[in-house]
């Protein structure tokens, strides 16, 4: 259903619990309230998964993206499973994101900000409460954080909220240690694996890019240069902030690094004053200026509001308007133009650049009609150059084969990206990122790409329990194509 255009007040009192008085979509009916309360209480006691300093650093990076000085690569599984919390799966995703980002740095000549859809992407919105699997109707799989895929695990289990926390913690711990231990050492040669590329023209294009990158890295090694980008490789974490019980339990009032930074004084001077006698826990949004503290959702660095839960007067927008994290909003064919500005005003009343990422996902056939209107609404307002525009070319391009297999065509995905790049250029705005569903494994879930995956190939290694993901070759190919686009543009003189 299209979100309503009734406006949520950005000045009303906010606490991490005010969302509970609003209507809500996609909220699970927990079968056992006392079990839920017990799980939430325990979550509330757990240490934060991420720190405000990291969240603030990501926000500063996203400000650079919004202003056209960096590019955002965000990717990972559609539905992360607890089973993916193991060394190989995590390592292969990190390596893929890193390799793609090197290609994008080469093409864009800009820093690349990396965010994984990982270490918490366990909750899935569903269009229907039930689904048919192998001819049998059962409650829909809503992600490992609520129920299991197997038939006998379909009942919602609140203990899974705790399991989600622990799997996020283990995944994040390994990500941090792997990155700190040099998994991202760019001086090791990459395996570009271009053997599968059948088209000789494409093969030459990709090989040229790969060898140019390799040469540059060798040169840096020889002169013992360690540019900042190669020294500290960060991958931030993100997930859809769907389950507000979980997000609330991990939201904490913490000292704000932004309060200490010069940029914060700008917001401080514009922050509303508390009404006299107002209790500390019902302060107006963003009490940064008042106490040097802010509410951080410590479940991930970046959270986004999905396409099904961005109604202005509903619970998700209410919750997200009060936290200091950078947040994403999915924008699609059902987003009324007027809602877009109202959403920005509700979620980012102080116009912090980089605070909001608009993740556009229309479908290759619709983007040309819809994106320009959304761009104009934002760029002709006070939010000009304030948001990050990011293209999600996955979620508007899902289709079913005749055999009923959910898939996406590589060409549709690339087309939506290309169209978005073209339209942003025409409109004078900056497409600052891409948001992909991908995996580091050799799955066969999306059609096409240089391997030429056909419908008959889909059954070879189709392992997604939710949406089809790009495999590592398809994902890297997309990075090559986008990098090539930017590099050609650079040659024709555009900044």
Residues placed in the known binding site = 78, 117, 330, 361, 395, 437, 467
The residue from 48, 125, 292, 372 that contacts ligand PEP (CB under 6 A) is 125
Q: Is the C-alpha dihedral spanning 450, 451, 456, 460 positive or negative?
A: negative
Instruction: Identify each DSSP E strand in 302-423 by its residue range.
Output: 302-305, 327-331, 356-360, 388-391, 398-400, 406-408
154 binds, among Co ion, ligand PEP, none (CB under 5 to 8 A by kind): none
Q: How many CB atoms lie within 10 A of CB 242?
A: 27
Q: Does 386 bind Co ion (CB under 5 A)?
A: no
What are the Cα distances from residue 341, in Å, to 12, 217, 331, 358?
Answer: 18, 43, 12, 11
Q: 352 or 392, CB closer to ligand PEP?
A: 392
The residue from 58, 78, 96, 364 that contacts Co ion (CB under 5 A) is 78
What Rg value do the Cα atoms of the chain yield, rounded?
22
Q: Does 142 bind ligand PEP (CB under 6 A)?
A: no
Annotated binding site for Mn(2+): 78, 395, 437, 467
Q: 90 or 331, CB closer to ligand PEP?
A: 331
Task: Name the packing angle between helices 159-180 and 33-45 (round to 10°).
Answer: 30
What lies within 8 Å, CB to CB, of 312 at 6+ separation is: 3, 4, 5, 6, 7, 8, 339, 342, 343, 346
Taking a C-beta distance cutoff of 8 angstroms, is the pair 115, 302 a contact? yes
Closest CA to 243 of 15, 4, 30: 30
307 binds, among Co ion, ligand PEP, none (CB under 5 to 8 A by kind): ligand PEP
Give the binding-site size for Co ion (rule: CB under 5 A): 2
Site string for ligand PEP, 66-105 (x = CB under 6 A): ------------x---------------------------
Please report how close the Cβ of residue 102 comes to Co ion at its closest, in angstroms: 25
Helix, strand, or coil (residue 406): strand
Site string for Co ion, 466-485 (x = CB under 5 A): -x------------------
> What pairing do the DSSP bridges indicate for beta strands 388-391 and 356-360?
parallel
Q: Does 395 bind ligand PEP (CB under 6 A)?
A: yes
The residue from 157, 294, 297, 307 that contacts ligand PEP (CB under 6 A) is 307
330 binds, among ligand PEP, Co ion, none (CB under 5 to 8 A by kind): ligand PEP
Q: 75 or 354, CB closer to ligand PEP?
A: 75
- Give the footprint of ligand PEP on this chain (CB under 6 A): 78, 125, 240, 306-308, 330, 361, 395
């Amino acid at each position: 259903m299209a979100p309503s255009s009734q406006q949520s007040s950005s000045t009303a009192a906010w606490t991490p619990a005010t969302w509970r008085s609003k209507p809500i979509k996609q909220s699970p009916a927990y079968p056992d309230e006392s079990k839920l309360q017990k799980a939430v209480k325990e979550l509330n006691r757990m240490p934060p998964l991420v720190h405000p300093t990291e969240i603030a650093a990501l926000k500063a990076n996203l400000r650079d993206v919004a202003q056209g000085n960096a590019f955002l690569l965000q990717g990972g599984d559609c539905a992360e499973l607890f089973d993916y919390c193991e060394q190989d799966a995590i390592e292969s995703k990190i390596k893929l994101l890193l390799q793609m980002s090197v290609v994008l740095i080469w093409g864009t000549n800009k820093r690349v900000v990396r965010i994984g859809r990982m270490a918490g992407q366990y909750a899935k919105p569903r269009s229907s409460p039930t689904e048919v699997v192998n001819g049998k109707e059962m409650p829909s799989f809503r992600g490992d954080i609520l129920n299991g895929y197997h038939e006998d695990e379909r009942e919602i289990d609140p203990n899974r909220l705790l399991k989600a926390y622990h799997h996020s913690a283990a995944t994040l711990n390994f990500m941090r240690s792997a990155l700190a231990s040099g998994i991202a050492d760019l001086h090791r040669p990459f395996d570009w694996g271009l053997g599968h590329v059948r088209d000789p023209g494409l093969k030459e294009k990709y090989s040229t890019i790969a060898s140019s990158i390799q040469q540059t890295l060798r040169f840096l090694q020889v002169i013992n240069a360690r540019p900042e980008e190669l020294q500290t490789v960060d991958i931030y974490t993100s997930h859809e902030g769907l389950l507000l019980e979980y997000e609330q339990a991990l939201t904490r009032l913490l000292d704000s690094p932004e309060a200490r930074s010069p940029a914060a004084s700008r917001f401080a001077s514009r922050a509303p004053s508390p009404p006299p006698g107002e209790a500390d826990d019902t302060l107006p949004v963003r009490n940064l200026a008042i106490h040097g503290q802010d509410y951080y959702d410590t479940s991930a660095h970046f959270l986004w509001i999905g396409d099904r839960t961005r109604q202005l007067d509903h619970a998700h927008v209410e919750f997200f308007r009060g936290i200091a994290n950078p947040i994403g909003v999915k924008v699609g064919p059902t987003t009324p133009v007027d809602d877009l500005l109202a959403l920005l005003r509700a979620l980012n009343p102080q116009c912090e650049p980089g605070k909001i990422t608009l993740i556009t996902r229309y479908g290759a056939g619709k983007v040309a009609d819809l994106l320009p209107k959304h761009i104009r609404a934002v760029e002709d307002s006070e939010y000009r150059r304030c948001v990050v525009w990011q293209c999600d070319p996955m979620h508007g391009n899902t289709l079913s084969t005749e055999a009923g297999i959910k898939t996406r065509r590589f060409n549709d995905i690339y087309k939506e990206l290309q169209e978005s790049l073209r339209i942003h250029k025409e409109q004078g705005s900056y497409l600052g990122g891409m948001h992909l569903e991908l995996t580091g494994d050799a799955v066969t879930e999306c059609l096409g790409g240089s391997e030429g995956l056909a419908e008959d190939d889909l059954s070879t290694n189709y392992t997604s329990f939710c949406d089809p993901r790009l495999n590592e070759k398809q994902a890297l190919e997309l990075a090559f194509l986008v990098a090539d686009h930017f590099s050609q543009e650079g040659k024709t003189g555009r900044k």
